[in-house]
Structure 1
Amino acid sequence: MKSIEQKVIKFADNYKLLQNGEKILIALSGGPDSIFALYFFEKFSKRFGITLAAAHLNHMLRGKQADRDEEFCKRICAEIGIEYYSEKYDVAVFAKQNKISVEEAARKVRYDFLLRVAKNYRFDKIITAHTMDDNAETVLMNLIKGTGLQGIAGIPVQRDNIIRPVLALTKDEIISYLDNYNIEYRVDKSNKDLKYERNFIRHKILPLIKKNLNPSMEQNIFNSSLVFKKASDSLRKLKDEFLVKFVRFGEEYVIIELSGLQAENESLLGEVLKDIVVNHFKKEFEFKDYIKVESLLEKPVGRKVILTSNLEVLKDRKKIYIYPKQNSHGLHLIDVKAGEVKDITGKKISINFIEKDKVKFENNRDHEFISADELDNNFVIRKWQTGDKFFPLGMKKHKNVSDFLLDEKIPAFIKKDQLVLLNRNQIVWIIGLRIDNRFKITEKTKKVIELWII
């Protein structure tokens, strides 16, 4: 048993997981792994110079059994004199409301709870008792799903303030330790339910691998996952540098400079696309999406592909654009009177009279002021049309709206839906971009109109 304890101590020291004087919160389910973590770190709290507390979330998935788990955790903490926090949350309802699996919902709700407790009560770190078995299951599951290098890097030893020192041990070692010291723990019957992906891998696939191929599979996979983690970190660094140098993020679209996808960076395309789709657009990204974009790069300018998440990718001369798939709005003429707010294609456009002394100019194209001395109260909003002209602010000659949008480098998929504001058949504002010079405010201006995109 001493060797098991030394494994965890050495692991925690090697990775510098715990610092003297820290307050540590242990995620306590009542199962063998978290119970081991509770007893182990209580036993060695003086050695590490830490103070402990535990937090238990009742997922309300297993009725009375879940309630008994909660009571068990509360009793154990009271017996060994450790501060205890708990909460109940209906995970099944949360999963249904957010259209995600119960497994995913439970994980999100659990981590939100732990992070909230840690923040509210000023804990420095959270210990989750993931084991070497959990890591093997995660690596294999991610490999099957095709999640890429980051996925097969396994469960991180530390992520922000969450640490996992029990990754040093297998499940068998933990059970052996608890049984040796007659330490009580709970068994979650749902962990044997094969409808859950992880349980199928745990009970059906991994035992066969251990029996027929490698009895030390967990340790070997863990060692490999550490190597993959270093490779993943290196790749992430290169990807982050690429994003800064060659990617521009707009509110409604993302631009990737094709000059960045030279031979030395070509292998980064998949990671860059995944980062953009998942982190910027909050969508799912699949391997077949990568194949679609890779093939698009070989096609003529103007071609586009649609990703599984309903994002469009358009190839331009020197760039590719990524944006939500657009619907045809069929917008014609919309009449607006001064003093009204109109909701158009998801944007609220406001036109109001304002006192001249209240005008405050700012560097905001969505908020403009114009002279109303030569205007009436009746405005029209429509899409720009071929042949439209206006006098851009600061210019004394007219310019085609088409040329203006080209000079502004407005992407083609946005350009076609650009709105203009008219009064007496004259363009007064290319909405969100530029007012007409003929209607700028001067010292002689008497009436002022404020234009807003809200």
Structure 2
Amino acid sequence: MLIEKVKETVEKHNLIGNRQHIVLGLSGGPDSMCLFDVLMRLSEEKKLKIYPVHINHGLRPVEADRDQEYVENVCGQRGVICRSFSVDCHSMAEELKMTDEEAGRKARYDAFFETAKDISDSICKDTGCSEQEALAQVKIAVAHNADDQAETVLFRILRGTGIDGISGISYSRRERGFDVIRPILDITREEIEKYCEERKLSPVIDGTNSQALYTRNRIRLELIPFLEREYNENMRAVLVRLAGIAAQDSEYIWSQTEKEYGRALIKESSEEIIMDREIMSGEHHALRHRIILKAFARIGLDKDVSEERIKAADYIIEKKQAPKTVEFPRGYRLTVAKGKVVFYNVDTLKVQ
């Protein structure tokens, strides 16, 4: 039974505790409607408070308004209030020089985090608890499923990736102080559709999902069916299993990275991180690369770090030469000098 399978995932990965506040991304599609129904059922035994959030992207005006009205009505029938946001994602995409799809994702997560922050602030005010205690009581639930996992792994393989990329989508990740959780990541799309039918949920259907407009859509609609037809009928399950194996290995490597990061660390602030060059140069490449990624993430650069830049930084850390600097995106720098490796941003700090 699907709900029992979700409970197993929740317990195994410690996704949801008793009396927590769950911000739910609710598009009105099969995945999010399934998760909404499951969470509402779980809320009775776990004493949860559910806060649905819907984003009207404005990309499909007629359908978008229909979806918003549908979601708000369904939430009203279940006795919860849906918080809806309207965003002109096409204008956002042009302004930020990204695709409409990327702008849509940014708009969604901005809305999720804004809602989560409002809830945590309210918890602090009402209970007098600390900010960290309040943040821990709020989770953000999104409806990625097992098919999404398979498609993500294959998408990353096609682009070129390492073990972290092959690990696919995680069950939980910390971002902006909150845990983003995926309770139905072990559930297939077929199981979700069957559940929606059995529970008479009547989700809305996004017509663009059946059109090969984006790379991910083509992977789902064309490539995976071809691989299943010509090579392995269980291709989705194989890709999900691959992600699980890679995730275990990646988790171990990152645990070692944490230890070595601490061993090499000399000084850390929100603006600057200084590490011992001798210790870093003695690390295995796999650990050193991750230490670099972790250090930059700690001071604000948590994406757009290319393998080319990592290799350039790796090279100057290893070589005992004159002071060297490698430039990273958005003004971030890595400088090696006087036996130290310094991570910083030129806009906030000048290395002497």
Q: Same fold (TM over 0.5)?
A: yes
User: Quick check: 1:115 aligned with 2:133?
Assistant: no
Verify the 8 A CA contact 2:272 2:342 in the aligned structure 1.
yes
Quick one: distance in 2 between partners of 1:32 and 1:10? Answer: 21
Letter in 2 for 1:217: M
Verify the 8 A CA contact 1:278 1:284 in the aligned structure 2.
no
Quick one: distance in 2 between partners of 1:118 and 1:211? Answer: 43
Aligned counterpart for 1:239 among listed residues 253, 257, 270: 257
User: Quick check: 1:272 aligned with 2:291?
Assistant: yes
* Unaligned runs of at least 5 residues, structure 2: 121-136
Letter in 2 for 1:6: E
Letter in 2 for 1:273: I
- Match of residue 224 from structure 2: 206
Quick one: distance in 1 between partners of 2:23 and 2:336? Answer: 50
Quick one: distance in 2 between partners of 1:172 and 1:250? Answer: 48
Which digits, 9 at most, give the CA deviation of each residue in 1:153-187, with x for residues without a partner? 22221234332111121111111222344431111
User: Quick check: 1:293 aligned with 2:313?
Assistant: yes
**Alpha-carbon spacing, 1:13–1:174, altered in 2? closer, same or farther (3 Å):** same
Q: SS of the residue aligned with 1:183? A: coil
**Alpha-carbon spacing, 1:280–1:99, altered in 2? closer, same or farther (3 Å):** farther
State the aligned residue count: 329
Quick one: distance in 2 between partners of 1:61 and 1:176? Answer: 29
Quick one: distance in 2 between partners of 1:305 and 1:279? Answer: 19
C-alpha displacement of 1:260: 1.1
Aligned counterpart for 1:186 among listed residues 204, 209, 213: 204
- Match of residue 177 from structure 1: 195
User: Quick check: 1:221 aligned with 2:221?
Assistant: no
C-alpha displacement of 1:78: 2.2
Verify the 8 A CA contact 2:151 2:219 in the aligned structure 1.
yes
Verify the 8 A CA contact 2:332 2:345 in the aligned structure 1.
yes
Verify the 8 A CA contact 2:51 2:82 in the aligned structure 1.
yes
Quick one: distance in 2 between partners of 1:250 and 1:40? Answer: 42
Q: SS of the residue aligned with 1:81? A: coil
Moved over 6 A (4+): 250-253
Q: Percent same amino acid among aligned pairs?
A: 27
- Match of residue 40 from structure 2: 42
- Match of residue 21 from structure 1: 19
Aligned counterpart for 1:72 among listed residues 62, 70, 75: 70
Q: SS of the residue aligned with 1:52? A: strand
- Match of residue 59 from structure 2: 61
Q: TM-score, normalised by structure 2?
A: 0.79
Structure with higher Rg: it is: 1
**Alpha-carbon spacing, 1:277–1:51, altered in 2? closer, same or farther (3 Å):** closer
Q: SS of the residue aligned with 2:82? A: strand
**Alpha-carbon spacing, 1:258–1:20, altered in 2? closer, same or farther (3 Å):** closer
Letter in 2 for 1:137: E
Q: TM-score, normalised by structure 1?
A: 0.63
Q: Which has the higher contact order (CA 8 A, sep 6+)?
A: 2
After superposition, residues 287-366 of structure 1 pair within 5 angstroms as 287-296=307-316, 301-302=321-322, 304=324, 306-307=326-327, 309=329, 316=337, 318-320=339-341
Letter in 2 for 1:302: A
Letter in 1 for 2:304: E
Q: SS of the residue aligned with 1:167? A: coil
Quick one: distance in 2 between partners of 1:34 and 1:250? Answer: 39
Verify the 8 A CA contact 2:271 2:299 in the aligned structure 1.
no
Q: What's the Cα RMSD here?
A: 3.3
Verify the 8 A CA contact 1:131 1:168 in the aligned structure 2.
yes
**Alpha-carbon spacing, 1:217–1:303, altered in 2? closer, same or farther (3 Å):** same
Which digits, 9 at most, give the CA deviation of each residue in 1:334-391, with x for residues without a partner? xxxxxxxxxxxx89xxxxxxxxxxxxxxxxxxxxxxxxxxxxxxxxxxxxxxxxxxxx
Quick one: distance in 1 between partners of 2:43 and 2:316? Answer: 57
Quick one: distance in 1 between partners of 2:281 and 2:51? Answer: 52
* Unaligned runs of at least 5 residues, structure 1: 326-345, 348-409, 415-454
C-alpha displacement of 1:133: 0.9
- Match of residue 88 from structure 2: 90
Which digits, 9 at most, give the CA deviation of each residue in 1:242-274, with x for residues without a partner? 333324558987654331135554431221223
Verify the 8 A CA contact 1:302 1:314 in the aligned structure 2.
no
- Match of residue 128 from structure 2: none
